[in-house]
Structure 1
Amino acid sequence: MAHDPQMLKGVLSLLLLSVLREEPGYGYGIVTRLKAAGFEDLAEGTVYPALARLESAGLLQSHLELSASGPARKYYRTTPAGVAELAARGRAWRSLVAAVDTVTGAAPPGNEGKSA
């Protein structure tokens, strides 16, 4: 299923911080991991600028590693500030989803098809 590009843009930082909290990664590898998680329409051209913004904000740290299959790769990992930001953004996201569900009448996860 294709995701709304504007919605995806709004949660991209949350996704990147989440993926990189689990394991450091490089641009193409991060895109591959996100596509495997259901974001098939995610473009590399969207991810690289977002990684640069997160690094500039001190939420990610990078280093170069030699690659056997080409040029050195820039690997990213979350910083302590990035972990704290991930927690804050995660809370904000869950609050937003709950509010949207309240307005739209969506059933909470696990309550689909149950009547009151």
Structure 2
Amino acid sequence: MAIQVSTEILEGSVLALLNQQDYYGYTITKKMQRSFPISESTMYPILRRLKKSSWLSTYDQSYEGRNRRYYQITSEGKTRLNEIKADWEKIKLATNRILEETDDR
């Protein structure tokens, strides 16, 4: 993908995933990698930033003798997700309008 994906789009995508269900960090990264060329070293700072902003909370759960840190969207995160979705719709419509214009001259 040659177009650089903004931090806000990545954050919104993470919030959208977690709006479906809780995931641990590795699973979030793998799901994001299905759509974006993103590394683990990029994902964890995004998760930390979302948590610091109170858009995510975490909890640990034991799995095969090890703890996994799960991420969960908060009510503030759901509000932020709705804001990002609204902004995305505006940007998408404006971009499509320009990119799909035809010149009938």
Instruction: Report the counterpart of residue 94 of structure 1 in structure 2.
Output: 89
Structure 1 runs (4+) greater than 2 angstroms displaced: none
- Sequence identity, in percent? 26
Partner of 1:105: 100
Alpha-carbon distance change, 74 to 3 in structure 1, aligned in 2, over 3 angstroms: farther
Aligned residue in 2 for 1:47: 43
Q: Hey, what's the Cα distance between the residues in 2 that align with 1:33 and 1:97?
A: 22
- Ranked by relative contact order (alpha carbons within 8 Å, sequence separation 6 or more), the top structure is 2
Q: Which runs of 5+ in 2 are unaligned?
A: none
Unaligned runs of 5+ in 1: 107-116
Separation (CA, whole Å) in 2 of partners of 1:8 and 1:72: 31
**Residue 3 to residue 34, structure 1, CA distance change in 2 (3 Å):** farther
Q: Does the CA-based 8 Å contact 2:29-2:40 persist in structure 1? A: yes
Aligned to 1:42, the other structure's residue is in SS state: coil
Q: CA offset at residue 65 of structure 1?
A: 1.1
Give the CA deviation at 1:3. 5.2
Task: Say whether residues 1:13 and 2:8 are aligned partners.
Answer: no
Q: What corresponds to 2:27 in structure 1?
A: 29
1:84 to 61, 79, 93: 79
Report the CA distance between 1:10 and its aligned residue. Answer: 4.0
User: What is the one-letter code of the residue matched to 1:32?
Assistant: K
Normalising by structure 2, we get a TM-score of 0.86
SS of residue paired to 2:58: strand
Three-state SS of the structure 1 residue aligned to 2:31 is helix
Matched, 1:71 2:66: yes
Contact 2:8 2:84 in 1 (8 A): no
